[in-house]
Amino acid sequence: MRGEVVSLSRNIKIVGEETDDWGVQVLTADIMDEEGTFFEGKSWIEGVEIQYGGQKDTRRAAVRFEGAVAKGQIFKNSVVHEGPGWAMNAIRSKGIMVDNNVFWGANQVGVGWNMVMESTFNNNFVGWVDPRTDLNAIGMATLDVMGGALFCSLEYPSACPGIRITNNICAGTVQQAFTGPAHDCGKKNSNFFGNVAHSISGGLSGNGFVVYPDPSKPAHKDCYEVSQNAAYKCADAGIFTNFPSKKVNMHSVTAIDCNIGAGAMAAVDGAAEYKEHSSHLYDSIFYGSSVSPDCPDKEKQCKLMERSGVTTSIQSKVHSPMGMELHPKKDMHCPISSQVENGSWAGKAYFRNLKFIDFAPSSDSKGTLLRNTMIQLLKKSPDFITMQHFDNIEFINCESDALTYFFNPPQSWANLADCGDFPCTGPKNTIFSFTNIKWTGGKQGANALKDFSLIPDIKTYSDKFPDCTKFEKINGYQCTNNDLGILIWESLDPDSIDRSIQPIYIWYNLYGVAETKGIQSPANYYKPVKAQKENKDYKNGVNILNSYMDHNCDSFYNSQQRISRFPGLVYAPPKETITVDEAGKSTTTPGPGPMKYWVQ
């Protein structure tokens, strides 16, 4: 399953001399000579072995198509292996057909296409792409751009209309196996399907597929779709997308033994975050443990990694109109799945018709716990994590203890550049809702229910909710009532990102059912206030909220600008009123003016 057997020999051989870093190159281009004569380049290369090709530290690959648009190009049944640079590069070209080839042992990038039109990459194998090891020597101190088969991502958002990436395998490469464009929503996938990525790591990342909306299709701003690819043994996400669109669909994917099986997120910007936008992941299968071990030789070959099926979908308010950075150049933007900024106001996340197979906690040879969760809460998600809706999910041979884990926000977030005096509280104020759940086989445990919700453990607060039972293994509670919600509110003051109003306090049942201070309070009364700590009820059923993290930079420093938005976990049954009140205002430091609220 991890190994691949390929033939690296062909009868026709083109071999470069390994005397320097200038390998052999086969170039096809349309050119004009000094006398103004135009020459149309055309190549048909079949059954050829090219060894030691490409130039180190450049995009001058062993096989190159540059500005070749007049004639069609064919490269098939051939091998490119063990060169100092890229194996193949195509740019500003058209009508290329690359079929049934082996690209083995490239440096930095295996295959790269940019600004290519109406071309096909089918039934190829790309493997063993090594990172460059001497970046400082060539004046690069940033993280390198690396990958196996990168289609139209190095010059994104320059479009590549009409390309097809089908039935290929990419294995043993660094940072990412495939990048490529999504297809139209509601239509058959005809451009990026049938591919397999496995054994991907390095470059502080390790993604099987990173799929982006096709910039040649304006409709992808409203909806784009990702489907019909498979990944296994990936150190980050098997299949991932997080780009600006009102709706993202991901379906018919399979992931096995990945740190994150799949992640589908919709990114928005500006006023769009207040309008409806959503992500949908459905009709897919995720395996937590296969018969192929990560480290066959008792971890001497590699390090055992935690696995998960899907990651929480966080609808992200982005600063760049292009969304996430496809090829990060800074360590802080890795792994790619961590590129989540301000959680958007109105985003929604839906998961349906999924199968999770063989998920259970385990440990490595040193006894370190590997949680191997079916749903992973991203470690770098400090802000609003929208409610996650799971419907018609089947857990096969899975333990309920591996459903998820609500981590405690790390104390390292409590600094002036990030969250201020105490860690941001987004991860502690979210809900996972489950309906129509089926459990089959395995040690399911007492928490293997059909309909339920999971919430984090907020000390002295979560335990107040009715019909909720402590679930130690997930650091949270399992609830069987349908009345949980997330109250979200933010300051609309023009200086709200510069002036902090946290901490905000939510008290559960602060006044009980009695009339207090002239307020008729229902049984479920919440009071968000900037509280006075001398209040005797200060620590009685309180949820202390922080605002968003500072995600902006001002030159070399953080901007110290944070969105004054506060998502808070609440119990909100029908026909009850959540009362929002301000208390403890001083005459010299007034609280915020207009504020915006809603309950999710």
Q: Which residues face 332 on adjacent strands?
A: none
Least confident of 70-74, 115-119, 198-202, 505-509: 505-509
Query: C-alpha dihedral over 592, 594, 598, 599, to 10 degrees?
Result: 30
Least confident of 166-170, 481-485, 559-563: 559-563
pLDDT band at 363 (very low <50, low <70, confident <90, very high): confident
The whole-angstrom separation of Cα 29 and Cα 92 is 10
Model pLDDT for residues 254-267, shown as the tens digit of each residue: 999 999 999 998 88
Q: What is the DSSP secondary structure assignment for residue 61, as one 8-state letter?
A: -
Query: Do 455 and 557 contact (CB within 8 A), yes or no?
Result: no
The mean pLDDT value for 229-250 works out to 94
Is a pLDDT exceeding 90 seen at residue 110? Answer: yes
The whole-angstrom separation of Cα 550 and Cα 555 is 14
Query: Do 389 and 423 contact (CB within 8 A), yes or no?
Result: no
Query: Do 180 and 207 contact (CB within 8 A), yes or no?
Result: no
For 11, 251, 481, the CA distances from 573, given in Å and listed in that order, are 75, 33, 9
Beta strands of 63-195 (E only): which ranges? Answer: 63-66, 73-76, 79-81, 88-94, 96-99, 102-104, 109-117, 120-122, 125-127, 147-151, 164-166, 169-171, 176-181, 183-184, 192-193
- The closest of 129, 133, 132, 98 to 113, measured between CA atoms, is 98
Q: Which two tokens stand for residue 263?
A: 């992640």
Report the pLDDT value the prediction gives residue 523, as an integer from 0 to 100: 35
Burial annotation 319-353 (CB, 10 A radius, 16+ → b, else e): eeeebbebbbeeeebbbbbbbbbbbbbbbbbbbbe
Rg of the chain, C-alpha, whole Å: 27
pTM for the model stands at 0.90
Query: Do 128 and 164 contact (CB within 8 A), yes or no?
Result: no
Q: What is the DSSP secondary structure assignment for residue 344, as one 8-state letter?
A: P
Query: C-alpha dihedral over 297, 303, 306, 312, to 10 degrees?
Result: -140
- The closest of 360, 404, 387, 390 to 452, measured between CA atoms, is 390
Select, from the ranges 329-338, 435-444, 558-567, the one with the highest average predicted confidence (pLDDT). Answer: 435-444
Query: Do 65 and 90 contact (CB within 8 A), yes or no?
Result: yes
Model pLDDT for residues 435-452, shown as the tens digit of each residue: 999 999 878 888 999 999
Is a pLDDT exceeding 70 seen at residue 164? Answer: yes
Is a pLDDT exceeding 60 seen at residue 63? Answer: yes
pLDDT band at 102 (very low <50, low <70, confident <90, very high): very high
Report the pLDDT value the prediction gives residue 511, as an integer from 0 to 100: 43
Model pLDDT for residues 79-92, shown as the tens digit of each residue: 999 999 999 999 99
Query: Do 468 and 559 contact (CB within 8 A), yes or no?
Result: no
Spell out the residues 6+ positions from residue 160 whose beta carbon is closer than 8 angstroms to its own: 113, 114, 115, 116, 117, 119, 151, 152, 181, 216
Q: What is the DSSP secondary structure assignment for residue 93, as one 8-state letter?
A: E
SS3 81: strand
Count of beta carbons in the 10 Å neighbourhood of residue 511: 17
Report the pLDDT value the prediction gives residue 446, as an integer from 0 to 100: 86
Count of beta carbons in the 10 Å neighbourhood of residue 20: 10
Q: Which two tokens stand for residue 29?
A: 């281009």
Tell which wins on pLDDT, 127 or 585: 127
What residue has token string 């971890």? 299
User: What is the sign, positive or negative, of the torsion defined by CA atoms of 64, 67, 70, 72?
Assistant: positive
Q: Which two tokens stand for residue 285?
A: 């299968």
Quote the mean pLDDT of the chain. 85
Model pLDDT for residues 451-486, shown as the tens digit of each residue: 999 999 999 889 888 899 999 999 999 999 888 999
The whole-angstrom separation of Cα 437 and Cα 452 is 9
The whole-angstrom separation of Cα 72 and Cα 63 is 15
